Amino acid sequence: MLTFGTIVLTVEDLPRAAEFWRTALDYVDRRPPTDDWVILDPPAKSGWDGPGTSIALSVTGYPQHYPPRIHLDLYADDQVAEVRRLLGLGAHEVDWQNYPDDADWVVLEDTEGNRFCVVQVGPAPAA
């Protein structure tokens, strides 16, 4: 049986990307970062095989591909508030014209251009 352990994103500015994802997900460093690698874990994760998906950031020097072939879906109870918070951390809105009228997601990019969606789960809070 396979399970997700770590999702790896390539970045150019490791400190900036690590700070974005630490704050966005409230994750912590598994161990001190190196010059080209950091693994971030959920705060309660006690080891590499503990529950919860980790995110790793790797400096590879490879150029980004647009559009990317993979992205993350992040679930939010209050999508509007989370999008606002993530934009404040340095995320960018993606100019994407293919949203259906009933879209429950918003496409953003992190500080390095890695795309992710913020998906509203459940009913949206009353405005």
List, edge to edge, every strand of the sheet that includes 92-93.
Answer: 72-76, 115-120, 105-109, 92-93
The pTM score is: 0.84
**Residues shown for the chain:** 127
Tens digit of each residue's pLDDT (9 = 90 or more) over 66-90: 777 788 999 999 999 999 999 999 9
* pLDDT tier, 19 (very low <50, low <70, confident <90, very high otherwise): very high
Tens digit of each residue's pLDDT (9 = 90 or more) over 20-37: 999 999 999 999 999 999
- Res 2: pLDDT: 62
List, edge to edge, every strand of the sheet that includes 54-59.
Answer: 6-11, 54-59, 37-41, 28-29
- Res 46: pLDDT: 85
- Res 53: pLDDT: 92
Reply yes or no on whether the pLDDT at 112 is more than 80.
yes
Orientation angle between helical segments 14-25 and 79-89, nearest 10 degrees? 160
Q: Between these two residues, 26 and 10, which has the higher pLDDT value?
A: 26
